[in-house]
Structure 1
Amino acid sequence: MPIPIILDCDPGTDDALAILLALASPELNVLAITVAGGNVGLEITLPNALALVALAGARVPVHGGADNPLLGEFLPAHHIHADNGLGGVILPPGPPPAPGIAADAIRDILRGAPEPVTLVGIGPATNLALALATEPSLAVHVRDIVLMSGGWVRGNITPAAEFNAYSDPEALAILLGTGHRVVFAALDLTDQALATPARLAVWRSLGPGRCLRAACDIQVAVPPSARLGGQGAPLHDPCVIAWLVRPDLFTAFPAHVSVDLAAGPDRGRTRLDRSGRTADNALVLDTLDADRFFALLGDRFASLP
């Protein structure tokens, strides 16, 4: 049976590809897409999510949510995602958003769910944290929490912190404190999903579909990562969707994860403890079969309109 999920995002170039992958995967039942600010402002991320769902020909409700983290403000990453969040690629506009704000929609879905729902977060964790912190009893209706967040060796927004974790570390701490296992696709894993020109050329050869073309155009527009030697740009967010669909592409290990909430240079740093002295609260994705990952994405994008 398909896994019921709520996909929380901030599109964003890699969010865009993750959304398309989720909508192309029969292993998943996408109950709703909820949207926060993050990579760019909510006034951009929400129309982007609506446009992507329409492009895929899907009928999934899209709810707008938090335009700021629990504390402070989101700091956009225009240098990666461009002013429109999609690398400058223009998509036809989608329909209006579904009524209600994201946190309310998440709570409503969990209350009425006939089976536990997996919460998938590929942006700042604000919407998910607001939903669970304001009605903690709903945690019994959650199957797993799966996040693209964190980094164990280095960050990508500060030397210490990964972008999503840094954008709302208090929200991430709330999810880590729910008592549910949190699955982490952190930078150490997602950096292995390097979209090189050769891999994107293979995608382009797979067909003429509008979703495949958009995925290629969006990813080509992402600047190569100097942090990774300029060979391409990592596809962070699609990794969590791929793990749900094809866990055999990954290796993983249990660990305890915490996040630094203090002001200063370590704010948003995620800390990994494998000593066994603290109870495991996370499953950490460790390695990725990158060639099979890119083959999966190409095949799924080509299956869309």
Structure 2
Amino acid sequence: MPIPIILDCDPGTDDALAIFLALASPELSVLAITVAGGNVGLDRTLPNALTLTALAGSAVPVHAGADRPLLGQFVSAPHIHGTDGLGGMILPTGKPAAPGLAADVIRRILRESPDPVALVGIGPATNLALALATEPALITQVARIVLMSGAWAEGNVTPAAEFNAWSDPEALAILLATGRPVVFATLELTAQALVTPARITAWRALGNGRCLHAASDIQASLTPSPRLAGQGTPLHDPCAIAWLIQPALFTARDCAVRIDLGPGPSRGRTLIDRWSGATPNATVLETLDADGFFALLGERLARLP
């Protein structure tokens, strides 16, 4: 049976491929896509999600959510994703957003679903945290929480913190406190999913579909990461989706994870304890079969219109 999921995102170039991968995969039943401000503002992430969903020919409803974190100010990353969030690609406009705010929709789906639902968060965790904090009894309807968030060591927005965790660390702490299984795809894991010119060329050879073409063009627009010595661009968000589809591509370790909520330079750091023997509260993905990952992604992109 397909795994029912709610996909919470902030598109975002890597979110684009995660959305395509989720919608192209029969292993998943995407009940809704909820959107927050993150990589760029909600005024761009929401149209982007609508565009990408329409491009994939999907009728999955897309709902607007939080435009700022639970505390503090919103900060975007246009230097990575472009001012439009999709690397400047010109894509057709999608349909209007479905009615209902993201947190309300998440709660409604959890109430009505006959089976527990996986919550997949590939942006700041604000929408998911708002839903669960305002109706905690629904946690029994959550199968697991799968996140692209955090880092073992150095961050990518500050020396301490990864962007999604740093953007709303209080929301991330709320999810960790729910007691449900939490899975982290961290920066160290997603650094193993490097998009290179050779991999983009391989995608282009798979067909002429509009989604495959858009995915290739979006990734080709990005500058190789100086954090990774210019070897390529890490494809962060699809890793969380791929783990749900083919967990055998990954190795993982159960760990105790805490979030630094202080106001100083370590704010948003994910303190991942592998060695002390503290009681684990999360599973952290450690290694990725990169060739298998890109084979899966290419095969699924080629299925789309």
Give the TM-score normalised by the residue count of structure 1.
0.99
Aligned to 1:94: 94
Task: Supply the AA of the counterpart residue of 1:223.
Answer: T
What is the root-mean-square deviation in Å for CA atoms of aligned residues?
0.7
* d(CA) in 1 for partners of 2:54, 2:221: 21
* d(CA) in 1 for partners of 2:277, 2:89: 48
1:70-127 CA distance string (max 9 Å, x none): 0112211011100110000011011000101000000000000100000000000000
Aligned to 1:144: 144
Matched, 1:47 2:44: no
Task: Supply the AA of the counterpart residue of 1:298.
Answer: G
* d(CA) in 2 for partners of 1:71, 1:37: 14
* d(CA) in 2 for partners of 1:26, 1:210: 20
1:138 Cα deviation (Å)?
Answer: 0.3
Aligned to 1:280: 280
Which aligned pairs between 1:195-206 and structure 2 lie closer than 5 A?
195-206=195-206
Aligned to 1:127: 127
In the alignment, structure 2 segments of 5+ residues that lack a partner are none
Which aligned pairs between 1:215-230 and structure 2 lie closer than 5 A?
215-230=215-230
Structure 2 counterpart SS, 1:203: helix
Matched, 1:169 2:143: no
1:279 Cα deviation (Å)?
Answer: 1.5
* d(CA) in 2 for partners of 1:153, 1:67: 28
Task: Supply the AA of the counterpart residue of 2:37.
Answer: G
Structure 1 counterpart SS, 2:147: strand
1:223 Cα deviation (Å)?
Answer: 1.2
* d(CA) in 1 for partners of 2:276, 2:132: 27
In the alignment, structure 1 segments of 5+ residues that lack a partner are none
* d(CA) in 2 for partners of 1:203, 1:235: 14
Aligned to 1:82: 82
Aligned to 2:293: 293
* d(CA) in 1 for partners of 2:50, 2:104: 18
* d(CA) in 1 for partners of 2:70, 2:202: 41
* d(CA) in 2 for partners of 1:198, 1:74: 36
* d(CA) in 1 for partners of 2:91, 2:183: 32
Give the TM-score normalised by the residue count of structure 2.
0.99
Off by >6 Å, runs of 4+ in structure 1: none
Task: Supply the AA of the counterpart residue of 2:18.
Answer: A
Aligned to 2:159: 159
Task: Supply the AA of the counterpart residue of 2:88.
Answer: G
Matched, 1:111 2:111: yes
* d(CA) in 1 for partners of 2:177, 2:85: 31
1:276 Cα deviation (Å)?
Answer: 5.2
1:174 Cα deviation (Å)?
Answer: 0.2
1:50-71 CA distance string (max 9 Å, x none): 0000000001000000000001
1:161-199 CA distance string (max 9 Å, x none): 000000000000000000111100000100000001111
* d(CA) in 1 for partners of 2:153, 2:175: 22
Aligned to 2:17: 17
Structure 2 counterpart SS, 1:303: coil
Aligned to 1:251: 251
1:157 Cα deviation (Å)?
Answer: 0.3
Matched, 1:64 2:64: yes
* d(CA) in 1 for partners of 2:152, 2:263: 19
* d(CA) in 2 for partners of 1:4, 1:163: 27
Aligned to 2:194: 194
* d(CA) in 1 for partners of 2:261, 2:90: 37
